[in-house]
Chain A
């Protein structure tokens, strides 16, 4: 036992001390947070200024101007120039305008407009232009139909649809929860692969360095194999732990320091817009705020985090132990990396398949396939995460317990099988191993 501890210690320390580990562990969360922030930043701060030539072909009004002339509100990013005469594409190309908005004569009855561009404007700019045109058309229609704007505003209805689960009366959308589960499933999938392959490489390294026989003259091959698997698992858990701590810190900093500042800028901008009108735009903002609120509520309250993390660690360890021992067996059976291919395939397929089923579970969580593959130990660590995130009612908790029990049995079987292949394989040099050969090894006596 003491010797296994020594092996675990070496496997752990030799990996944790590696530069690549330290870099990945520290940079991982920063990278993810950075990408996230970059996305938000890019989305919020499209700093291009668009000069829009508005070609208004609508008939002249009694007042002498056309319908859209000087009707659009300019922002710091979108500037309008009005004309009644369109430019040809060639003329537009050599003009100073970025975008040409062509408003047809009969646009009020057939609401369709052309946006000619040299460089496609950002989504934000396009939707701004669209809403400006819509506003003018709506106002025109109100006038034509002699409807008072306040009456119109009071008629406009925005329905909020609240979904309530009949079983427990909570407002819930399982689909959204499933997405959180799916993220966990991706994590498990990634970690099993990442660390499983590390185990395989470690075994191959010992074999090709010819150190393995020296070591198994002191310890049992099984101790060496388990020491490596457990040592690498601890490396994985360390990385996860550091990531959780780091992410928590980053999120806290982000939400207490940076986010309020951004909000300030945002609300200031909104106030400028709101001054003059429009019930519509505020209601849109309210909608998007409600959406953000939904996500926050989902992430913070609807997911049972202690349960989720507990289950995550269980399935991560179970799935990892199962796959890592198979990877160890592959590492022991081959002499070099190129020979691993033929044995990697049957291990990789269930793993990838589990991932596909988990994706499928997002759309149809109650499906038969999802049930079965959440029981099979080779796929359950990935598929079950999606189901756990959606929650189990009392009647189907047995499914979770059965799946966990099967996973334990599964990894015990895998460890047993791998141990048999491992102890023969590590002493076998310069031989191209076939499945038939592996089958023979299983029957060798210790």
Chain B
């Protein structure tokens, strides 16, 4: 069952294509990585899912229904550009944001008490946001994203600007929420930061979806058999040594007779085969 189905979304800003015919599915309970370089269209897509902007064409299904304002309370969103009212007190502000998500005051208070305790920030309730450090404010931002127990949480570049301690704290919370059945979408331009926790990914580049699927499957499918090899010796001799099963893609001389060669394995050859050939040539 997919909690979110993105179908043929296209969005254009004054002649510039932000998204071109993008489709993918987010399975329920997954931790979904939305990957792509800066400017690829990730944030545009996320804003469409959050109903901040509308798509030019295409549709999005949330639990099988076309996305509509009534779904807002069931989605949690931590934008890339995030902040808080500086002059407002932490507790007051969290309550305000919770109530904007449709919670009653009593309900919001109870939930917030729970979260403040979990993050060990109960003493901050009456502090003004401007008195908090950046790391402290980040914790509050995360709490306000998840406090209404949404079934789908979208985190746009969640770890940018986070210190390592907060990063681990938040990663832990993400895993815990996912175990409890919450679906989470992470967007990032830095695959390394989320690789370990994602179960599914989609890659967007230049407004188009490039690939999508479970992490293991994607890795397998797109394994190219390309290796970088650093060696000492004559480049010409090295090239001659490569047999029909190997292709030299490029090479770079980095020192006195030292070079790095990028080699693709062909015809089902393995790395061991390559090493054998090279040892022989040596």
Q: Name A residues whose Cβ lies closer than 8 Å to a Cβ of B.
A: 3, 6-7, 10, 14, 205-206, 209-211, 213-219, 221, 427, 429, 440, 443-446
B100 at the interface (CB under 8 A from A): yes
Known contacts A214-B144, A427-B52, A443-B14; A6/B86 CB under 8 A: no
**Chain B positions within 8 Å of A217 at CB level:** 50-52, 72, 75, 77, 79
Report yes or no: B56 in contact with A6, Cβ–Cβ below 8 A: no
Please give the distance in Å from B221's CB to the nearest CB on chain A.
Answer: 34
**Chain B positions within 8 Å of A221 at CB level:** 52
Known contacts A10-B96, A218-B101, A445-B56; A211/B50 CB under 8 A: no
Contact of A214 among B47, B79, B99 (CB under 8 A): B79
Q: For the complex, give the distance between the alpha carbons of A440 and B13 in Å.
A: 9
Contact of B85 among A211, A218, A429, A444 (CB under 8 A): A211
B88 at the interface (CB under 8 A from A): yes
Q: For the complex, give the distance between the alpha carbons of A10 and B54 in Å.
A: 28
Nearest A-chain residue to B97, judged by Cβ: A214
Q: Mark B71-100, 1 if CB is under 8 A from A, else 0.
A: 010010111011111111000000011011
Contact of B13 among A7, A205, A215, A444 (CB under 8 A): A444
B53 at the interface (CB under 8 A from A): yes
Report yes or no: B14 in contact with A440, Cβ–Cβ below 8 A: yes
Nearest A-chain residue to B141, judged by Cβ: A214
Top-3 shortest CB links A-B: A210-B83, A213-B79, A218-B100
Query: Interface size for chain B: under 10, 10 to 19, 20 to 34, or 35 or more residues?
Result: 20 to 34
**Chain B positions within 8 Å of A429 at CB level:** 81
Q: For the complex, give the distance between the alpha carbons of A6 and B104 in Å.
A: 12
Report yes or no: A214 in contact with B82, Cβ–Cβ below 8 A: yes
Known contacts A3-B100, A219-B100, A427-B52; A444/B14 CB under 8 A: yes
- Other contacts beyond A14-B87, A443-B14, A445-B56: 9, CB < 8 A: A6-B100, A210-B83, A213-B79, A214-B78, A214-B82, A218-B72, A218-B97, A218-B100, A427-B52
Nearest B-chain residue to A215, judged by Cβ: B100
Please give the distance in Å from B139's CB to the nearest CB on chain A.
Answer: 15
Show 30 residue pairs from A and B whose CB-CB distance is below 8 angstroms, ordered by the A residue: A3-B100, A3-B102, A6-B99, A7-B100, A209-B84, A209-B85, A209-B86, A210-B79, A210-B83, A211-B85, A213-B79, A213-B81, A214-B77, A214-B79, A214-B82, A214-B97, A214-B144, A215-B100, A216-B52, A217-B77, A217-B79, A218-B72, A427-B52, A429-B81, A444-B13, A444-B14, A445-B54, A445-B56, A446-B53, A446-B54
Nearest B-chain residue to A2, judged by Cβ: B102
Q: For the complex, give the distance between the alpha carbons of A211 and B83 in Å.
A: 5
Please give the distance in Å from A232's CB to the nearest CB on chain B.
Answer: 15
Please give the distance in Å from A17's CB to the nearest CB on chain B.
Answer: 10
**Chain A positions within 8 Å of B141 at CB level:** 214
Nearest B-chain residue to A211, judged by Cβ: B83
Please give the distance in Å from B10's CB to the nearest CB on chain A.
Answer: 12
Q: Which of A211, A216, A219, A444 has the most CB of B within 10 A?
A: A211
Contact of A210 among B54, B77, B81 (CB under 8 A): B81
Nearest A-chain residue to B13, judged by Cβ: A444
Please give the distance in Å from B134's CB to the nearest CB on chain A.
Answer: 12
Q: For the complex, give the distance between the alpha carbons of A443 and B101 in Å.
A: 30
**Chain B positions within 8 Å of A219 at CB level:** 100
**Chain B positions within 8 Å of A215 at CB level:** 97, 100
Q: Which of B75, B83, B97 has the most CB of A within 10 A?
A: B83
Q: For the complex, give the distance between the alpha carbons of A362 and B261 in Å.
A: 88
Report yes or no: A210 in contact with B72, Cβ–Cβ below 8 A: no
Q: For the complex, give the distance between the alpha carbons of A35 and B82 in Å.
A: 47
Please give the distance in Å from A220's CB to the nearest CB on chain B.
Answer: 8
**Chain A positions within 8 Å of B85 at CB level:** 14, 205-206, 209, 211
**Chain A positions within 8 Å of B75 at CB level:** 217
Q: For the complex, give the distance between the alpha carbons of A152 and B36 in Å.
A: 104
**Chain A positions within 8 Å of B72 at CB level:** 217-218
**Chain A positions within 8 Å of B82 at CB level:** 210-211, 213-214
Nearest B-chain residue to A206, judged by Cβ: B85
Nearest A-chain residue to B99, judged by Cβ: A6
**Chain B positions within 8 Å of A6 at CB level:** 96, 99-100
